[in-house]
A and B are shown apart, each in its own frame.
Chain A
Amino acid sequence: MKNLLSASSQNMPRFGPALLQFLVLGLFLLFAVRLWYLQIHLGPVFTEKSRNNQLRIEYLFAPRGFLRDRNGELLAVNEPAFALGLVREDCDDIPATLGKVAELSGIPLERLKEVYARNKPKVKSFEPLVLVPDMNFDTIAKVEGVAVRWPGLEILSRTRRKYNYGHLLSHVLGYVSEASEAEMQADPSLSLGDFVGKQGLENRLDARLRGAKGKRLIEVDVTGRRLSEEQQGEPKAGEEIFLSLDLGLQQLGHKLLEGKSGAVVVMDPDNGEVHALVSEPSYDSNMFTTGLSSAQWAALRDDPLHPLQNRATQSVYPPGSVFKLVTAAAGLHEGLIDPSETVNCSGELALGNHVFRCWKHSGHGSVNLQRALVESCDVYFYKLGMKLGVDRMSAFAKAAGFGAPTGIDLPHEKGGLIASKDWKLKRFGVRWTKGEDLNMSIGQGYTVVSPLQVARYISALLNGGKLLKPSLIRGETPQVTSQLPLTPEQAAIIKRNMVATVEDPRGTCRRVLTPGVMVGAKTGSAQVVRLTEELRRMGDSVPYKYRDHAWMAGFGEQGGKRFVIVAMMEHGMHGTAAGPIVKAMINALFMGKRELPPKDLEGAERPPDVAARLDTVETQFPEPPAPEVPAAGAAAPAQEAPAQ
């Protein structure tokens, strides 16, 4: 009610009161709308954010499953390790503290700064940021001594994978190391600092070994202080796995190959279990769990001997005469040979204007299949190869498991190569020549195989034609991937001839003859380069890198127990160089002898120098064959390809 009696009422503001009421209304509308937007419209979003503030999930780590060999020997375990962490919130001078850590740990300050900068966005200020993932006791003692004066530094205990035989099993076990950014993206259960299997079985069996983390829901206040916690699932320890490997055999294999490059595979032909899978040179898996410096990594990666390479599964080599077991079986399968039928070997075979020689220049005379295998007569197989032709050889080789990975539980397995007419035309644009049939028949040319593939094929010859997936886990149900296209009788012929190769006085594998054990075998020496006359004249003094790869594929059988053994030595010169390895394995497997053979039986001596071996690495994995591989292409080999 306006007071009209007021003397000064005419001076009353005219619009002011309306303005005030308008402002009140505006204030109400503005905030009411904003509140509706925040609390009703975005309410669920903010509720979630408020929960994220308040609740923190803490993971309880599950111990990684142990790995044991088939006899229960511990191969991979977990051991306590101590890391140095920095809690940023408690640290008053981070640059100075980093400097101190560099001084204590001996890690360059730049590296620590890099680690700090990389992890800072990922680690909350009250959580420890790991600066040194693994400290030795010396460093721990030093840190303990000064910890009081450096607030924020914290020694964290965690577990670390420990490989008891780091060098003996690195190619099979592989290693674990900290999960990468990409792995954490792909798997939400992984968090910073978790270890995952990166290579070998650690990688392939990761899901079983890792177990499951326990989860704990923690209510925290703004400082990160724990107010309450609620357990939401116990950690489930990773599975303990017994491997099919036999540590003793593995150890023996490494000793036999010491100082050389090569591979040894021991396989049970009846269930596919691999008892030894050896590759030399080797590396220590433990290097990776403690955090490899980039210099160390570069040294391993660039080592001319390729220690990271698993030569049993990831390297492929020309099989040489070992392939005659395939050519012979293909001949039997196609019905092109009669085991009793003889072929005359005059020491050479002329095709067109080229002469293909047998390794025995004087010739073998009249040879049947058995003699051809026992004495490794090249001419017999040249003739068989001509009859079969590339495509039939190739089809059988593929059916025998060559040219494709065996499916073993190891990453990055190579399948090798089995050539065919079509393949050559596509790859080189040139037609297949008849001469190449001959080369292929004795395991030269484009063909490359892995030692494991050979072991698998020999197993199939023994076990009734089953091509098994090689298994690294004890007691795993055997998996038959395919059937060898051979009748039991045909397989038996090959097997019998392999035994004859050992037992016959003229047999090339006579040195693996073991009393009381039925042993069958076949040697192979695979040419790395086409031997020139000059090199040939040098005989045993041919430079290391030009020497042939030495193969021996065999088996032993005694009282229902049988094993396939394949040994392959890079640049071993003759098939005979692989012989002592097979012999020592047979002794260990059947005679209970695990001692090393005398030194003089060990084939070629250690290479003169690394530089000479350096060039060999290119020739190790010919895929397609490197120019050095003999018998390549239309140019046709001027010389025969001897093999024994």
Chain B
Amino acid sequence: MSPIDRRMFYHVNWRLVCVLTALFGIGVLNLYSASGVRLGDGVQMENFYQKQLIWGAIGLAGMAAFMSFDYRRLNTVAWPLYAMTIVLLLAVPLAGKTVLGARRWLDFGLFSFQPSELAKFSVLLLGARMLSGSSERLNMREFFAVLGLGALPALLIIKQPDLGTGMLVLLLLGGLVLYRGIVPWLFRTLCVLVPLITPLFWFVLKDYQKRRILAFLDPATDPLGSGYHIMQSEIAVGSGRVFGKGFLAGTQSQLRFLPEKHTDFAVAVFGEEWGFFGMIVLLSLFCGYLYQIAVVARDAKDPYGSFLAAGVFFYFFWQILINMGMVMGLMPVVGVPLPFVSYGGSATLVNFSLVGLVLNVSMRRYLFKQT
């Protein structure tokens, strides 16, 4: 089987490509605005949008690379990749470098690397492999096997500390478990137990994390810390009203009242400048994007492909839910970026690559005779 059959090209989910292009375009445009800082004597531009474009180009290459082989081959690398991830995660506390109080990076001389980024991908691959074995609902033994599989890297990541990524790994796996389905009694038990156990995590949280959650519950308790972030973000979005303040005219962002305006709170800039109208368009694009991934998962040729696409779906779904929820004051401040809208080099590369994976599944959804 040659890696690329010309016929496959027709089966690529072009709608997904279109929505992706629109999202990335809006993201770069918005970053252009978010890069501007008004000073006394004019506007000073930072170059985030240019960097984002360059990373987009690199991402396209990654996307092409992820389309170039039959996704089923990934099945064979799932376990080795997982094992490598665990080793690297274990190496972080020993050999990692500390940035801003958290040890997340491994320094390889030429480049630095976050094993936690790799963890998301390897858990996605291994989760898809383990869960696609049967269509039966998950029983308790299998459930705990999968849980253990995800919990190990997740705990290592949370220890770094990087609560956002650790949670994302677990949520991703949780999504896949739900995608497969679990036996009803277990589902019901979990429905009761999870809300009961979750509050216990309070005791393992770091102080700054506790403060963020308290600030989310009552922003006034911490008006200069993360409460300030939430307040300023809501002010930015809310003051956009119906049609927004206009492109490049957002005062919350231009005058820097909005924190982290090109990364975690980038979508607040968009909300301020384009208003309810713009936000509904953006939200619709995100939903269209997710829907197209869901379509690929539904129409995949085999369960493995379906689970891979579903894993990508959850990867994006959780990030969109957490990030936009945070910007709109529905969630505490967690450092999760919004795909294609928040600035981030490696995130852009990973996002494009994962779209490549989904397109890979979609273009190989029919069996072709091997030539």
Contact = CB atoms under 8 A, between A and B. Distances in A.
Nearest to A125: B224
A30 B320 CA distance: 12
A222 B232 CA distance: 11
B159 to A, nearest CB: 30
B328 A31 contact: yes
Given A16-B310, A17-B294, A20-B297, A225 B40 contact: yes
Contact of B276 (A8, A35, A45): A35
B255 A10 contact: no
A223 B37 CA distance: 12
Contacts of B234: 38, 46
A24 B252 contact: no
B228 to A, nearest CB: 10
Contact of B235 (A5, A50, A222): A50
Contact of A6 (B251, B276, B302): B302
A222 B256 contact: yes
Contacts of A44: 241
Interface in A17-34: 17, 19-21, 23-25, 27-28, 30-32, 34
A487 to B, nearest CB: 75
A429 interface: no
A308 B317 CA distance: 75
A53 B235 CA distance: 10
Nearest to B272: A50
B252 A226 contact: no
B2 interface: no
Nearest to B133: A11
Contacts of B324: 31
Contacts of A225: 39-40
Interface string A87-115: 00000000000000000000000000000
B238 A42 contact: yes
A593 interface: no
Given A13-B179, A17-B294, A27 B279 contact: no
B38 interface: yes
Given A13-B181, A43-B242, A38 B237 contact: yes
Contacts of B237: 35, 38-39, 46
- What range describes how many residues of B lie at the interface? 35 or more
Given A27-B321, A54-B251, A49 B181 contact: no
Contacts of B291: 21, 24
A50 B256 CA distance: 12
B306 A223 contact: no
A38 B328 contact: yes
Nearest to B284: A28
Nearest to A1: B299
A44 B235 CA distance: 10
Contact of A39 (B135, B275, B307): B275
Contacts of A117: none
Contacts of B257: 50, 53-54, 221-222
A17 B287 CA distance: 15
Interface in B318-334: 320-321, 324-325, 328-330
B76 to A, nearest CB: 17
Given A13-B306, A17-B297, A27 B317 contact: yes
Interface in B275-315: 275-276, 279-280, 283-284, 286-287, 290-291, 293-294, 297-303, 306-307, 310, 313
A227 B255 contact: yes
A547 to B, nearest CB: 66
B40 A3 contact: no
Interface string B208-227: 00000000000000000000
Interface string B28-52: 0000000001111000000000000
A50 B284 contact: no
Contacts, number: 168
A19 B178 contact: yes
A73 B299 CA distance: 98
Given A28-B284, A227-B40, A16 B180 contact: yes
Contacts of B40: 225-227
A19 B179 contact: yes
A36 B240 CA distance: 11
B271 interface: yes
Contacts of A36: 276
Contact of A16 (B252, B271, B286, B297): B297
Contacts of B135: 10-14
A2 interface: yes
Contacts of A42: 238
B115 to A, nearest CB: 29
A405 to B, nearest CB: 49
Contact of B255 (A5, A28, A45, A53): A53
A225 B257 CA distance: 12
Contacts of A31: 279, 283, 324-325, 328
B241 A40 contact: yes
B132 interface: yes
A221 B255 contact: yes
A25 to B, nearest CB: 8
Contacts of A221: 37-39, 255-257
B103 interface: no
B236 interface: yes
A32 B307 CA distance: 29
Contact of B366 (A3, A10, A21, A35): A3
Contacts of B256: 221-223
A140 interface: no
A428 interface: no
A50 B301 CA distance: 52
29 contacts: A2-B299, A6-B367, A10-B135, A11-B135, A13-B181, A13-B307, A16-B310, A20-B297, A20-B310, A21-B291, A27-B290, A31-B328, A32-B280, A36-B276, A38-B234, A39-B242, A39-B279, A43-B241, A45-B238, A49-B235, A49-B239, A50-B238, A53-B251, A53-B255, A54-B255, A219-B255, A220-B255, A225-B40, A227-B39
Ranked 10 nearest A-B pairs via Cβ: A46-B238, A17-B298, A16-B179, A20-B294, A50-B239, A43-B241, A221-B255, A39-B276, A222-B256, A46-B239
Given A12-B302, A15-B181, A27-B320, 9 more contacts: A13-B179, A13-B181, A24-B287, A39-B237, A39-B271, A46-B239, A49-B235, A50-B238, A221-B37
